[in-house]
Amino acid sequence: MQRIVESETPMLSPFEIFPDCTQAHLDANRSWLQPRFQDGASGGLIIAIQSFLIRRNGLTILVDSCSGNDKEMRVRPAFHRAQWPWLRALGAAGVKPTDVDIVLCSHLHVDHVGWNTRLDNGRWVPTFPNARYLIGRREFEHWKAAGPAALARTGDYITDSVLPVFESGQADLIGDDHAVARDVAVEPAPGHTPGQLMVRVGSGREQAILCADLMHHPLQIRYPEWSTRFCADPVAARATRIKFFNDHAGTGRLIFPAHFPHPTGGSIERDGKDFHFTFLGEERSLWA
């Protein structure tokens, strides 16, 4: 599995993303937060926008597609008419757009669906012409029912990055428990959005779990009760996250949150009632 990174920058103020965060929390954790996870100058949290490339059973599977280029209807300046070198990063991993067999959308947020499409002579067309785009049925029905008002904070990314793959006949709506391929399956992780999906790769103790936006930043391992301002149902998001921590702490399974910076993946450990996170290749947890 490979990360295909679009950006990894100090993107969000901790007070913007976490309504429960105070300066006292940041001060208490400064020794491990800065400079790796929080920029000392701006105070912004380091957020990765990235996809995950899985090659398994002869299939090339892309999980999530970042924010995309040339997108006009975006409220956040970083995403408006962006020109990221993401396609070059995909090529550096040895994959052309025509090679991708499956694009799996963990959920339908602006920073997870952008490269579903590209601009071609003024039209939005699927970036991956040979791929099936797998989208959770519950997730799609939520956004369809919510309508344009639900997109006021972000801009209308559904029209330019989601609907064109339906119009091309390449989209498949899937259930909460769907086998993508042998040893690749999804399962529900509701709260951040109603139909958010996680991806399990492998089996047993050798599993890797791509947990999408179940958590956005290592601060949420320190404070599992924190949900973000972007969560559709903060209470459900909290319950999903804490159950996930309890289920996977101490198992050695590799966990890949969508927005953790390099190297992204690691294992959750238990310390009494608290949890720790140890990144791949490191011997100590963040705050051990």
CA 26 from chain centre, in angstroms, equals: 24
Of 287 and 285, the one with more pLDDT: 285
Domain membership of residue 252 (yes or no) is yes
- The pLDDT of residue 206: 78
Whole-number Å distance between alpha carbons of 25 and 244:
23
Whole-number Å distance between alpha carbons of 167 and 6:
26
Q: How confident is the model at residue 285 (pLDDT cuts 50, 70, 90)?
A: confident
The count of domains in the chain is 1
In DSSP terms, 49 is beta-bridged to 7
In terms of residue numbers, what domain contains 7? 2-279
Domain membership of residue 101 (yes or no) is yes
Q: How confident is the model at residue 288 (pLDDT cuts 50, 70, 90)?
A: low
Domain membership of residue 41 (yes or no) is yes
Of 229 and 283, the one with more pLDDT: 229
Q: What is the CATH number of the domain that holds 41?
A: 3.60.15.10
Domain membership of residue 285 (yes or no) is no
Whole-model pTM: value is: 0.96
Q: Which tokens belong to 159?
A: 């029209």
Q: If you write DSSP's letter for every residue of 19-44 in order, what string do you get?
A: TT--HHHHHHTHHHHTTTTB-TTT-P
Domain membership of residue 98 (yes or no) is yes
Domain membership of residue 210 (yes or no) is yes
Q: How confident is the model at residue 191 (pLDDT cuts 50, 70, 90)?
A: very high
Q: Which tokens belong to 217?
A: 């930043």
With CA atoms as reference, report the closest residue to 137 among 171, 164, 182: 171
Q: Which tokens belong to 219?
A: 């601060």
Mean pLDDT of 6-32: 97
Maximal CA-CA distance, the chain: 58
Residues 194-218: tens digit of each pLDDT:
999 999 999 877 799 999 999 999 9
In DSSP terms, 9 is beta-bridged to 47
Contacts of 271 (CB under 8 A, 6+ apart): none
Residues 100-155: tens digit of each pLDDT:
999 999 999 999 999 999 999 999 999 999 999 999 999 999 999 998 889 988 99
Cβ neighbours around 280 below 10 Å, total: 12
Domain membership of residue 287 (yes or no) is no
Whole-number Å distance between alpha carbons of 284 and 266:
11
Contact (Cβ atoms closer than 8 angstroms) between residue 20 and residue 226: yes
Whole-number Å distance between alpha carbons of 267 and 16:
27
Q: If you write DSSP's letter for every residue of 118-166 in order, what string do you get?
A: EEETTEEEESSTT-EEEEEHHHHHHHHHH-GGGGTTT--HHHHHTHHHH
In the chain, the N- to C-terminal Cα span, in Å, equals 28
Domain membership of residue 143 (yes or no) is yes
Q: How far is CA 103 from CA 91, 165, 168, in A?
A: 16, 11, 14
- The pLDDT of residue 23: 98
